[in-house]
Structure 1
Amino acid sequence: MKKTLIIFCLMLLFALKGKAQENTSLPAQYQEMMTKILSNVPKTASSTASQLLDFAKTMIGVPYRYATSNPEKGFDCSGFVNYVFSSFGFKVPRSSPEFASAGVPVKLADAKVGDVLIFTGTNPKVRRIGHVGIIYSIEDGEIKFIHSTSGKAHGVTVTDFDAYYKSRFMKAVSIVE
């Protein structure tokens, strides 16, 4: 269904390009339809972000290990994010708090696959940065992120951006532009 919508939009855009050259405008009913269709097309990742996430996926199951950024031994959260981005030539911080000044801040509503989510530590009432993860997917407004957690999964896993993580959310930053 999504592919059909995208193909339809592309065909309509090509048709519009021809109309624009003739200085005629698109009828209002079609403009409204285009707006609705385009608002439902999922946010997609850039090629680099897709490659970055494919690479990160290969590390699902690597155990959590405090203060480590070595896939053979394990990762803490920032070690994992640092390892993934560094593998693609990006200079990113090694500690979670330093991610607050890394990249370009983005509103959560504008965040895309490959952006970094920054959270408090495990206690959401203590508003101090203590955890990071990478947006893994955004479908129908639902975000999943990949991270190394000391929690139940105790390692690299993909997690829903649920109420618990929303209570801990501090900011999002874009590293890949």
Structure 2
Amino acid sequence: MLRKMLLTVVCTVSFGIIKAQNVPTVLEVPTVTSKKEKFYESIPIVKEVISFAKDHLSTRYRSGGTSTHGFDCSGFTRFCYKHFGVALPHSSAAQGNVGEAVTKGEAQPGDLILFNGHSAGGNRIGHVGLITEVIGDQIKFIHSAWNGGVRYDYLHASYYQRRFVGVRRVAHLLAEK
């Protein structure tokens, strides 16, 4: 009996020592800074704009709406940026001319994402949203849609993929404030 207890203790201690030797020290663990964190470091107010936009989730859709009583798509993006001192025009087509065009692969939180209206044909901008998150090739955005008000959607959804027009970087306008 004593031999079994002693053997159990020796095995437990030995196992603990082996495990401890395989655990990397704090110095050995590499630090990974994501693309998103670097972007927020360069223009930290972008995080505040996105947080402000999230505060308005579920606000109803209202054609021509520019307030918390109801937003249309461009009224919502305009409202969010206006709160931080950036004036955007009140039409999705006009917002498609603000800032600088960037590729889908360069998209970052805070960028405007632009779509065709109800028809996937043509290239006329009819809808706009605010990118909130980019993970790999997945782009999440917040927008005011006629069927649900302010909500999240993903670019990889077929409805939005077919209507995608482009991305506009306007965050540098925040940095100038």
Give TM-score scaled by structure 1 length: 0.74
Partner residue in 2 for 1:175? 170
1:126 deviates by 3.6
Q: Write the distance in 2 (CA, Å) between the matches of 1:142 and 1:158.
A: 13
Contact 1:42–1:139 under 8 Å retained in 2: no
Q: Write the distance in 1 (CA, Å) between the matches of 2:30 and 2:87.
A: 39
Larger radius of gyration: 2
Q: Residue 148 in 1 paired to residue 141 in 2?
A: no
1:163 deviates by 2.2
Out of 56, 60, 63, which is 2:60 matched to?
63
Residue identity in the other structure for 2:106: D
Aligned-pair RMSD on alpha carbons? 1.8
Q: Write the distance in 1 (CA, Å) between the matches of 2:100 and 2:87.
A: 13
Partner residue in 2 for 1:21? none
Partner residue in 2 for 1:80? 76
Give TM-score scaled by structure 2 length: 0.74
Residue identity in the other structure for 1:157: R
SS in structure 2 of the partner of residue 80 of structure 1: helix
1:42 deviates by 4.4
SS in structure 2 of the partner of residue 101 of structure 1: coil
Q: Residue 157 in 1 paired to residue 151 in 2?
A: yes
Percent identity for Structure 1 against Structure 2:
31
Q: Structure 2 matches for 1:86-97, cutoff 5 A?
A: 86-97=82-93
Cα deviation code 1:126-169 (max 9, x no counterpart):
42110000001112321110000012x2x000111122211111
Q: Write the distance in 2 (CA, Å) between the matches of 1:148 and 1:139.
A: 22
Residue identity in the other structure for 2:136: D
Structure 1 segments unaligned to the other structure (5+ residues): 10-36
